Amino acid sequence: MKKALLIIDAQKSAVIKPEIALNIEKLQYEYDVVYVSKYTNTGSPLLKILDWSGYDNEALVFTPKENAIIFTKTGYSAYLEEMAEFDEMHLCGFDTEACVYKTAMDLIEHNIRPIILRDYCYSTDNEMHAMGLKILEKNIGAQNIR
């Protein structure tokens, strides 16, 4: 089984709990392949439709490992077509109910099992994080949240 880690939007304004980013930084070394997404407003429908400026291309709050594949995204999903070579993608990062959720759903639609690493994800607060996990549990299965 071929698997990778996808770290979603661990940027300054998104990281409410810095200890999660520190844990993510350590976690990445357990994987041979690591993807790291960064959100940017340039060309983003979130800016156009929601007028949400968010954390536009802010710096990451952890140091990606040397061979990490770092890319920018303009919407909720961090799915890339090149991820289709994997059977399983482990997800962590921010925000559980938005970008982590959307990415997990996109992975399923591309026949890739999303594994949500619960303790390595977070949202703007505990309530949003818990709601995101609850909806993910329903849509991707409790067995895929670890």
- Tens of pLDDT along the chain (146 residues)? 899 999 999 998 888 888 999 999 999 999 999 999 999 887 777 777 877 777 777 899 999 999 999 999 999 999 999 999 999 999 999 999 999 999 999 999 999 999 999 999 999 899 999 999 999 999 999 999 99
CATH of the domain at 93: 3.40.50.850
For position 80, what pLDDT does the model report?
Answer: 98
Note the pLDDT of residue 29: 98
Instruction: Identify the pLDDT of residue 42.
Output: 79
User: How many structural domains does the chain have?
Assistant: 1
- pLDDT for 72 equals 94
Domain that holds residue 33: 3-144
Neighbours of 25 (CB within 10 A): 17
Query: DSSP characters for 89-126?
Result: EEEEEE-IIIIIHHHHHHHHHTT-EEEEEEEEEE-SSH
Res 15: pLDDT: 83
Q: What is the pTM of this model?
A: 0.94
Backbone angles phi, psi at 63, to 5 degrees: -100, 115
